[in-house]
């Protein structure tokens, strides 16, 4: 794995939490000069292929049906066919080729259940000649991590959020580059800097933007492993879910790295109960750190764990960044309500 300095890790973490931080703010946090901060930032952008984007507060959407699908094919579809199929698909946000238990991964979302099921039916029919075996799960809760969304989310905002054409244009620009300077936003929208600054401030007050963030497309940890778990839910499962959270949080204390080991942790309903995405130097290390860890923690629940490594991004972005899992993990009380 390539070597990255402590200064670069601090800068990457700061931009993962808020990608609009100024060079002066980055230099102050990293305790270096502005010149050093600029040099390190440019190096990170080039080597890690950083894309600046938005993390959206999904509660501001009128509806949000999120689903994870994994597919095995009896006959592998050509890469060109998959690229063409998903290129202009407004529902499939992330599409990855896999190596392991499954051949293809899709993260998809729609504004309502009917729209989603129509899309899934259409997608399955388009793939029918390759004899797909599809497992679909609804994404119930993102405990940690995020999913970069394409610009179509703007048309699904709750009706209580009033945006005009200028607001939508600014939101689109920021989703494509959340670090875009105010001067550039003003130029693209055709307004003064003060107007662009005010409009951005007003957008932030709506709460649509949960975080200005980034997505690393060339991480130094070359194994991006997706895992899917089913449990029998025996007594004490809540305690074990708390335990796995603690273990996930401790992974980066044991072996500090440039990017957070766990990138996504989510609760599912459907074909699987839990989903995770982790990054490691090797597949062997990923299996040891995450897969075997889950087997040990959930031993009493007879866990069925399948996993696959991402080999190619067909559509969307790898949702990888250096966000502090200890302060951003969503803890849930698993005691049933009366």
Does 319 have pLDDT greater than 90? yes
Q: Residue 337 has what pLDDT? A: 55
131: left (phi over 0), alpha (psi -120 to 50) or beta: left
Q: What is the pLDDT of residues 72-100, one digit of tens each?
A: 999 999 999 999 999 999 899 999 999 99
- Counting residues of the chain whose pLDDT is more than 90, the rounded percentage is 78
Helix (H) or strand (E) holding 184: helix 182-189
Q: Residue 272 has what pLDDT? A: 97
What gap in Å lies between CA 208 and CA 158, rounded to an integer? Answer: 10
The number of angstroms, rounded, from the C-alpha of 55 to the middle of its chain's C-alpha atoms is 9
The SS3 assignment for 111 reads coil
Q: Residue 38 has what pLDDT? A: 97
Which CATH number applies to 6-48: 3.50.50.60, 1.10.275.10, 3.90.180.10, 1.10.10.10?
1.10.10.10
Per-residue pLDDT band for 338 (boundaries 50, 70, 90) equals: very low
Positions of E strands within 180-261:
209-216, 223-230
270: left (phi over 0), alpha (psi -120 to 50) or beta: left
- Encoded tokens for 85: 């199929």
Total residues found in the chain within this entry: 338
What gap in Å lies between CA 312 and CA 231, rounded to an integer? Answer: 29
Residues 6+ apart with CB under 8 A from 56: 149, 153, 208, 209, 210
Q: Residue 149 has what pLDDT? A: 86
Which CATH number applies to 223-326: 3.30.70.920, 3.30.420.40, 1.10.10.10, 3.30.1490.20?
3.30.70.920
Side-chain-facing half-sphere of 246: CA atoms under 13 Å: 7
Does 1 have pLDDT greater than 60? no
Least confident range from 74-83, 108-117, 313-322: namely: 108-117
Q: Residue 151 has what pLDDT? A: 82
Residues of the chain with CATH 1.10.10.10: 6-48
Q: Average pLDDT in the 232-239 region?
A: 88
Residues of the chain with CATH 3.30.70.920: 223-326
Does 227 have pLDDT greater than 50? yes
Q: What is the pLDDT of residues 201-217, one digit of tens each?
A: 988 888 889 999 999 99
- Check residue 322 and report its DSSP letter: -
Check: CB of residue 305 under 8 Å from CB of residue 244. Answer: no
Mean pLDDT of the chain: 92
Exposure letters 22-56 (e unless 16+ CB within 10 A, then b): eeeebbeebebeeebbeebbeebeeebebbbbbbb
Q: Residue 212 has what pLDDT? A: 97
């Amino acid at each position: 794995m390539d070597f990255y300095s402590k200064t670069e890790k601090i800068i990457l973490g700061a931009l993962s939490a808020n990608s609009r931080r100024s060079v002066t703010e980055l230099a102050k946090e990293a305790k270096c000069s502005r010149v050093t901060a600029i040099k390190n930032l440019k190096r990170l952008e080039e080597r890690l292929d950083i894309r600046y984007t938005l993390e959206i507060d999904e509660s501001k959407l009128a509806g949000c049906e999120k689903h994870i699908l994994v597919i095995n094919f009896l006959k592998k579809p050509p890469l060109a066919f998959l690229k063409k199929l998903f290129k202009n698909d407004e529902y499939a946000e992330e599409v990855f080729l896999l190596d392991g238990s499954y051949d293809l991964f899709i993260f998809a979302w729609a504004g309502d259940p009917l729209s989603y099921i129509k899309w899934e039916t259409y997608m399955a029919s388009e793939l029918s000649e390759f004899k797909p075996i599809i497992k679909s799960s609804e994404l119930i809760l993102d405990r940690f991590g995020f999913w970069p969304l394409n610009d179509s989310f703007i048309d699904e905002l709750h009706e209580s959020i009033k945006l005009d054409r200028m607001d939508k244009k600014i939101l689109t620009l920021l989703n494509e580059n959340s670090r875009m300077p105010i001067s550039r936003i003003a130029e693209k929208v055709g307004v003064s800097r003060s107007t662009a600054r005010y409009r951005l401030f007003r957008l932030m007050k709506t709460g649509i933007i949960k975080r200005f963030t980034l997505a690393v497309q060339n991480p130094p940890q070359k194994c991006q492993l997706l895992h899917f778990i089913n449990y029998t839910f025996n007594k004490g499962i809540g305690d074990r879910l708390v335990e796995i959270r603690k273990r996930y949080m401790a992974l980066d204390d044991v072996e500090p790295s440039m990017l957070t080991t766990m990138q996504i942790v989510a609760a599912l309903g459907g074909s699987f109960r839990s989903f995770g995405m982790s990054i490691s130097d090797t597949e062997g290390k990923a299996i040891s750190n995450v897969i075997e860890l889950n087997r040990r923690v959930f031993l009493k629940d007879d866990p069925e764990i399948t996993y696959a490594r991402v080999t190619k991004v067909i559509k969307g972005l790898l949702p990888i960044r250096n966000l502090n899992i200890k302060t951003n993990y969503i803890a849930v009380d698993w005691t049933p309500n009366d």
